[in-house]
C-alpha cells in the first residue's frame, strides 16, 4: 500500500509540474514585441508616450551601448554599458538582434538575451529602433512582433516641422531629410504604417492597432 501511495504521489507531482510548465509556456507566448521606427521629426516619441499615458502594458527594451554613462544612468537600468571592444565581441558572437554604429566606436544595439529576458518576465516590449533594426527584429520574432512605421505626410511637411524647431542649420536639416527619404523607402516592409498628419487621428489609430495586437491570443 505504501508503495502504491508513493507511486500515486509521484504521478500527482509530475502532473502538477506539467501543468505549471504549460501555464508558464502559455504566459511566455502572451508577451509580445512592438517595434517602432520612423524618420526624425515624425512624432514617434509623442505617439509612443501617448500609449504609455493611456496605460497600455508596454515596457521599453534595455539597449546596449558603447558610450559611457551620463549623470545618474546605471548599468542594466537605462542601458547595458559596454566598451567598444566588448560590443564588437558580442557582435562577433551574434548576440544582437540589431545594432548600429552611429559613428566610430559609438554603438547601440538590442541584445537577444535581454529582450527574451524581458518577455519571460511577462513584459510586452517596445523597441525604438531604426528601420533596418526594426525589420531584423520582426524577422526574428515573426507573428509575436508587430512592426509599426510612423511616417510624416510628406518630405515637405517634415521639412516644415524641422525648420519650425529652429535648432538646426539648413545643411543639417537637409541631411535629415535625405535620411528620411531613405528610411521611408522601407515603410512597406512593416506590418502597419501610420501617417502622422493629424496628431489626434494618429493617436487613435496607434492605440487601436497596438491594443488589438496585444489582445490577440
Does residue 23 belong to any structural domain of this protein?
no
Does residue 8 belong to any structural domain of this protein?
no
Does residue 13 belong to any structural domain of this protein?
no
Q: What is the pLDDT of residue 18?
A: 44
Does residue 17 belong to any structural domain of this protein?
no
Does residue 6 belong to any structural domain of this protein?
no
Q: What domain range includes position 204?
A: 31-215
Q: Model pTM?
A: 0.81
CA gyration radius, the chain: 22
Instruction: Please tell me whether residue 165 adopts helix, strand or coil conformation.
Output: helix
Query: What is the residue-level pLDDT of the chain in tens, covering all 217 positions?
Result: 556 555 555 554 554 454 444 444 444 558 999 999 999 889 999 999 999 999 999 999 999 999 999 999 999 999 999 999 999 999 999 999 999 998 899 999 999 999 999 999 999 999 999 999 999 999 999 999 999 999 999 999 989 988 998 888 999 999 999 999 999 999 999 999 999 999 999 999 999 999 999 998 6
Q: What is the pLDDT of residue 166?
A: 85
- The pLDDT tens digits of the residues spanning 90-118 come to 999 999 999 999 889 999 999 999 999 99
Does residue 83 belong to any structural domain of this protein?
yes
**Domain total for the chain?**
1
Cα–chain center distance at 179: 21
Of the candidates 100, 137, 89, 93, the residue with the CA atom closest to the CA atom of residue 116:
137
Q: What is the pLDDT of residue 11?
A: 56
Instruction: Please tell me whether residue 196 adopts helix, strand or coil conformation.
Output: coil
CATH number of the domain where residue 58 is located: 3.40.50.300
Does residue 58 belong to any structural domain of this protein?
yes
Amino acid at each position: 500500500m505504501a508503495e502504491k501511495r508513493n507511486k500515486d504521489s509521484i504521478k500527482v507531482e509530475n502532473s502538477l509540474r506539467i501543468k505549471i510548465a504549460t501555464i508558464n509556456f502559455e504566459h511566455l507566448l502572451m508577451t509580445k514585441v512592438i517595434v517602432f521606427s520612423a524618420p526624425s521629426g515624425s512624432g514617434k516619441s509623442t505617439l509612443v508616450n501617448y500609449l504609455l499615458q493611456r496605460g497600455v502594458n508596454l515596457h521599453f527594451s534595455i539597449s546596449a551601448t558603447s558610450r559611457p554613462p551620463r549623470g545618474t544612468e546605471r548599468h542594466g537600468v537605462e542601458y547595458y554599458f559596454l566598451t567598444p571592444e566588448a560590443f564588437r565581441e558580442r557582435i562577433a558572437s551574434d548576440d544582437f538582434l540589431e545594432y548600429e554604429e552611429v559613428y566610430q566606436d559609438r554603438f547601440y544595439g538590442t541584445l537577444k538575451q535581454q529582450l527574451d529576458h524581458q518577455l519571460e518576465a511577462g513584459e510586452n516590449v517596445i523597441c525604438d529602433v531604426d528601420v533596418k533594426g526594426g525589420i531584423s527584429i520582426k524577422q526574428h520574432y515573426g507573428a509575436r512582433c508587430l512592426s509599426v512605421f510612423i511616417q510624416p505626410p510628406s518630405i515637405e511637411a517634415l521639412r516644415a516641422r524641422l525648420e519650425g524647431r529652429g535648432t538646426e542649420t539648413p545643411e543639417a536639416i537637409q541631411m535629415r531629410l535625405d535620411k528620411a527619404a531613405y528610411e521611408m523607402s522601407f515603410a512597406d516592409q512593416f506590418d502597419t504604417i501610420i501617417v502622422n498628419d493629424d496628431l489626434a487621428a494618429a493617436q487613435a489609430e496607434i492605440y487601436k492597432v497596438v491594443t488589438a495586437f496585444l489582445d490577440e491570443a
